[in-house]
Amino acid sequence: MAGSVLEIKNLHVSIEDKEILKGVDLTIKGGEFHAIMGPNGTGKSTLASAIMGHPKYEVTEGSITLNGEDVLEMEVDERARAGLFLAMQYPSEISGVTTSDFLRSAINARRGEGNEIPLMKFIKELDKDLDYLEIDKSMATRYLNEGFSGGEKKRNEILQLMQLKPDIAILDEIDSGLDIDALKVVSKGINKMRSEEFGCLIITHYQRLLNYITPDFVHVMMQGRIVKSGGPELAKRLEAEGYEWLKEELGIKDETVEQNA
Amino acid sequence: MTVETKLPYDKQYIESFSSDRKEPEWMKELRLHALEKADQLEMPKPDKTNITRWNFTKFRHDYIPGEKIASMNELPELLQEYFDQDNIPENLLIQRNQSVAYSTLSEELKEKGVIFTDIFTALEQHGDLVKKYFMTDAVSVDQNRLTALHAALVNSGAFIYVPKNVEIEVPLQIVFWHEDPSAALFNHVIVVADENSKLTVVENYLSSASEEETVANIVEEVFAHDNAKISFGAVDHLSSKTTTYLNRRGVAYENATIDWALGQMNDGNTVSENITHLIGNGSSSNANAVTVGRGKQIQNFTANIVQHGKGSDGFILQRGVMLEGATTIFNAIGKIEHGAIKANSEQESRLLMLSPNARGDANPILLIEENDVTAGHAASVGRVDPIQMYYLMSRGLPKDDAERLVIHGFLAPVVTQLPIESVKKQLTQVIERKVY
Ligand SMILES: Nc1ncnc2c1ncn2[C@@H]1O[C@H](COP(=O)(O)OP(=O)(O)O)[C@@H](O)[C@H]1O
Ligand SMILES: [Mg+2]
């Protein structure tokens, strides 16, 4: 089977009755890597949260489907089991629950009752991914994200990505707070996921990450909309020249969602 | 319902009960004196829970011996999950109703003079030793009506004595199985660690399922003499029809330590007090406790460390989860007496509510009568963080599973303290069963 298709159409999202997304259209297919760039406060995390089903974000218009199935009708856990994954900008700390217990529960939730992963197999695969991401083995027995440094949290999100093997992943600012070595390792993990079965949406406001992960499509978000799309060269130009030329071209003064054009 | 005020058992009954057990004269007198007191004393008044309508005085006190357990390979079903068949404890006492069903103590410990037996055998064979500790320096007979009633009607229990300089690495385990509720459980436990000794003890309370109302009135007295160290673990799991009054009392002398890890998992209404007196200089106690409340269950827990000794260290950690319509009160009391300079008293009590109908209160109290000390407290009553739930569910965990993880995680700081792996596992299972 070829990969999954995540289709977002005319998506409007509000938080506390304030409209943040004002009509987003985007289609991500298995095998494709998309990047969404844009300055802070333009609605990037809102898009990611709405796709995953964050309880605070309300979709007021438009649709999200995964392989034709209505994602908006699904609970958060159903979305995950349908194949979606979100590496969060700010992962929660779960006290008292070890990373490895949590991961095993999550893997088993996807595999379903009666089809649980054998313990030895789980340990072997976890060890392999820990090594690949150059994470100290002790992380498996530490409480999930509790007391983790910013960099450790990001690596842990990628560890989860590699372990859970979703069909479509959204990575929200996976590069923020990472030094160059950590950035390389995290990119290595993401690149390893590349296949015809795997689609990815990378959210970032730096071009830096895209030196290590080459996207097939680059989109720029401003004022809660995708205002420009292109190939990898668009990211390069933004890196070299910033966002000003684009704002000028589009006649945008304030790129955040606070203002309309 | 009006509460019976007249006691169900009289002087004659107690006299013959004591004689039948061939108890020493002092014990019979103690019982009779206690019976008189029970008539005069007030009921205990736990802070923030009204127990005036609870049944503590209407019960039967029949003597029901339990069947022997011939071998650990032939454990009754209810007990099977309490043990790991590949890892049967070397030192084990199983009490079934009012008699010993199974008991072992390693030759090595016997040779070292360790006493590990039921309370009646101890009264018979080590009467003077029992007399020294039985409701003298820890719980007193006339503390209230229920402690007096307890002394009058003790019908089961255990006695542990570790001589000077004996350090025991392997745990001693006791199971109190309240199999037949028609006899109320008046269980008395004494643990004595003599100077420079070391000991780990773990006890389990469990009842067979029954619709019959019954009472558990339990007193436990734990003594750590100079430089002794006691690690005390427990999993209480008495039935929903059992009304429980439980006193766990510790006394620690010079440089002695008593650490508690208590899984307070009763299904019925419960008042449970855990008080530790740090008498000696440099003595210390960690009082760790968890509970899960379910149904309409009302529970009141008091953890109290009273510090007399200079440089003594007391730390209370309580965690509780409340489901459905359960009510749980956590009282945490850190008391530093005058003269206990450089003492340190810390406490943390946290309750997690999973239902809008659950009620609870964490009640932090510091009573400090000395200036040169350090103390701190934290208390909270909260609900599950929806963002945590979102994070866990975003990895595919159904809501119930995510909630269960959060609950286990919340209780983990105490559960991980339990000193025996199989008991830790068993507490985790009891939690699991109580949560769903
Ligand atoms: N939890 C929130 N509560 C209120 N407003 C929010 C919240 N999250 C985001 N917003 C609003 O939405 C706008 C877009 O936020 P976000 O999607 O996080 O932007 P980005 O990820 O592009 O930086 C913010 O400027 C802010 O005004
Ligand atoms: Mg963001």
CA distance B241 to B209: 9
The count of other CB atoms within 10 Å of the CB of residue A92 is 18
Secondary structure of chain A in the HEC alphabet?
CCCCEEEEEEEEEEECCEEEEEEEEEEEECCCEEEEECCCCCCHHHHHHHHHCCCCEEEEEEEEEECCEEHHHCCHHHHHHHCEEEECCCCCCCCCCEHHHHHHHHHHHHHCCCCCCCHHHHHHHHHHHHHHCCCCHHHHHCECCCCCCHHHHHHHHHHHHHHHCCCEEEEECCCCCCCHHHHHHHHHHHHHHCECCEEEEEEECCCHHHHCCCCCEEEEEECCEEEEEECHHHHHHHHHHCCHHHHHHHCCCCCCCCCCC
**Six-digit token string for A240:** 């070299």
Q: Sign (positive/negative) of CA torsion B118, B120, B123, B126?
A: negative
Residue found by looking up tokens 């006193």 in the block:
B247
CB-side neighbour CA atoms (13 Å) of B223: 24
Count of structural domains, chain A: 1
Chain B contacts of A92, Cβ < 8 Å? 385, 387-388, 390-392
Q: Which atom of ligand 1 is nearest to the CA of A47?
A: 17
Domain-embedded: residue A243 = yes
* Statement: residue B191 has pLDDT above 60: yes
Residue B268 φ/ψ, nearest 5 degrees: -105, 180
The pLDDT value recorded for residue B83 is 85
Q: Which of B144, B265, B152, B149 is nearest to B203 (CA)?
A: B265
- ipTM confidence: 0.96
The 3-state secondary structure of B60-84 reads: CECCCECCCCCCHHHCCHHHHCCCC
SS3 B190: strand
The radius of gyration computed from the CA coordinates of chain B, to the nearest angstrom, equals 21
Please tell me the distance in Å from A46's CA to the nearest CA on chain B: 15
CA distance linking residue B274 with residue B248, whole number of Å: 5
Instruction: Tell me what percent of the residues of chain B surpass a pLDDT of 90.
Output: 83
What pLDDT does B73 receive? 87
Residue B326 is given by DSSP the state -
Looking at chain B, the whole-number percentage of residues with pLDDT higher than 70 is 98
What lies within 8 Å, CB to CB, of B64 at 6+ separation is: B97, B98, B180, B182, B183
∠ Cα A113 B407 B230 (to 5°): 120
Q: What is the pLDDT of residue B423?
A: 80
pLDDT for residue A216 is more than 70: yes
> What is the B190 CA–ligand 1 centroid distance (Å)?
61
Distant-in-sequence, close-in-space partners of B10: CB < 8 Å, separation ≥ 6: B35
* Interval B120-131 mean pLDDT: 97
Query: What mean pLDDT do residues B235-242 have?
Result: 95
* Mean pLDDT comparison of A203-217, B171-185, B311-325, highest-scoring range: B311-325
Q: Which of B159, B163, B158 lies closest to B111, judged by CA?
A: B163
Q: Please, which pLDDT band fits residue A207 given cuts at 50, 70 and 90?
A: confident
* Cβ pair A168, A32 in contact under 8 A: no
Which of A57-71, B314-328, B361-375, B415-429 shows the lowest mean pLDDT across its residues? B415-429
Contact assignment for A88 to B394 by CB distance below 8 Å? yes
Q: Is the pLDDT of residue B59 over 80?
A: yes
Kindly determine whether residue A92 and residue B391, on different chains, have CB atoms separated by under 8 Å: yes
| Contact (CB, 8 A) for B188 and B150 | yes
Using the 8-state DSSP alphabet, how is residue B58 labeled? -
Mean pLDDT across the stretch A130-147?
A: 97
Q: What is the pLDDT of residue B133?
A: 98
For residue B1, what pLDDT is reported?
A: 37
Q: Where are the alpha helices (DSSP H) in B126-233?
A: 127-133, 145-153
Please list every residue in chain A whose beta carbon sits closer than 8 Å to the beta carbon of residue B387.
55, 92
Nearest to A164 among B388, B395, B402 (CB): B395
**HSE value, Cβ hemisphere, 13 Å, CA-based, for B143:** 19
The DSSP symbol for B143 reads G
> Does residue B412 sit in helix, strand or coil?
helix
Most ligand 1 atoms within 8 A of CB, residue of A257, A258, A259, A260 to mutate: A257
pLDDT above 90 (res B203) = yes
Residue pLDDT, tens place only, B269-291? 999 999 999 999 999 999 999 99
CB interface of B with A, residues 367-406, below 8 Å: 385-388, 390-399, 401-402, 405-406
Instruction: Decide if A258 is inside a domain.
Output: no
**Closest Cα in chain A to B393:** A77
Q: Six-digit token pair at B238?
A: 């008495």
- pLDDT at res. B357: 94
What's the CA gap between B150 and B122, in Å, rounded? 18
pLDDT of amino acid B78:
87
Q: Is the pLDDT of residue B179 over 60?
A: yes
Residue-level pLDDT at B7? 64
Identify whether the C-beta of residue B246 lies closer than 8 Å to the C-beta of residue B218: yes
- Selected residue with higher pLDDT from B63 and B26: B26
The predicted-structure confidence for B343-374, as pLDDT tens digits, reads as follows: 999 999 999 999 999 999 999 999 999 999 99
Structure tokens at B192: 């004595």
For residue A224, is it within any domain?
yes
A80, A88, A96: residue with CB nearest B393: A80
Residue A259 pLDDT: 58
> Is the CB of residue B394 less than 8 Å from the CB of residue A80?
yes
Residue B404: closest C-alpha in chain A: A97
More confident residue, B67 or B300: B300
The answer to whether A111 contacts chain B (CB < 8 Å) is no
Ligand 1 site residues, Cβ closer than 6 angstroms: A 15-16, 20, 38, 40-46, 56, 256-257
* Within a domain: A82: yes
Whether residue A115 is contained in a domain is answered as no
**Is pLDDT above 80 for B340?**
yes
DSSP-assigned letter for residue B42? P
Pairs of CB atoms within 8 A across A/B: 81
Interface contact B408-A97, CB threshold 8 A: yes
Task: State the pLDDT confidence band at A148, using cuts at 50, 70 and 90.
Answer: very high
Q: Contact A133/A185 with Cβ under 8 angstroms?
A: yes
Ligand minimally distant from the alpha carbon of residue A221: 1
Amino acid, res. A223: Q
- How far the first Cα of chain B sits from its last, in Å, is 32
Average pLDDT over residues B218-223: 98
Domain boundaries, chain B: 11-383
- Matching residue, tokens 């404890």: B89
A56 alpha carbon, closest ligand: 1
Cα gap B420→B200, rounded to integer Å: 9
pLDDT at A1 over 70: no
Q: Please indicate whether, in this complex, the C-beta atoms of B398 and A77 are within 8 angstroms of each other.
A: yes
B397, B412, B413 ranked by CB distance to A106: nearest: B397
Q: Report the distance separating Cα B7 and Cα B232, nearest Å.
A: 33
Which atom of ligand 1 lies nearest, measured to the CA of A56?
Answer: 1
Cα-to-centroid distance, A243 and ligand 1 (Å): 19
B183 three-class SS: strand
Question: Could you tell me which of B266, B222, B221 has the C-alpha nearest to residue B244?
Answer: B266
**What mean pLDDT, rounded, does chain A reach?**
95
- Residue A243 belongs to domain spanning: 5-93+149-250
Which pLDDT score, from 0 to 100, does residue B420 have?
A: 78
| Per-residue model confidence as pLDDT tens digits over A38-85 | 999 999 999 999 999 999 999 999 999 999 999 999 999 999 999 999
pLDDT in tens, B367-399: 999 999 999 999 999 999 999 999 999 999 999
Q: Please answer whether residues B334 and B365 qualify as being in contact, where contact means their C-beta atoms are separated by less than 8 angstroms.
A: yes
> Is A34 domain-assigned?
yes
Q: Tell me, yes or no, if A147 comes closer than 8 A to chain B by beta carbon.
A: no
Q: Specify if A238 maps to a domain.
A: yes
* Structure confidence at residue B6 as a pLDDT band (50, 70, 90): low
Chain B residues whose CB is inside 8 A of the A53 CB are 390, 394
Nearest CA to ligand 1 atom 5: A15
Asked if the model's pLDDT at residue A36 lies above 90, the reply is yes
Instruction: List the single residue in A with minimal CA-CA distance to B390.
Output: A54
User: Please, which pLDDT band fits residue A261 given cuts at 50, 70 and 90?
Assistant: very low
> What residues have CB less than 8 Å from B78, skipping those under 6 apart?
B177, B206, B208
Confidence of residue A104 (pLDDT cuts 50, 70, 90): very high
pLDDT mean over A126-132? 97
Residue nearest (by alpha carbon) to ligand 1 atom 18: A45
Look at residue B303 in the predicted model and tell me its pLDDT. Answer: 98
Q: Where are the beta strands (DSSP E) in B238-368?
A: 242-252, 257-264, 270-278, 284-293, 298-307, 313-322, 327-336, 344-353, 359-368
Nearest one of B276, B239, B26, B21 to B138, comparing CA atoms: B276
Does A226 map to a domain? yes
CA of A172 from ligand 2 middle (Å) equals 7
CA separation for the pair B340, B343 (Å, rounded): 6
What's the CATH number where A29 sits?
Answer: 3.40.50.300
Q: Which residue has the higher pLDDT, A125 or A259?
A: A125
Nearest CA in chain B to A78: B396
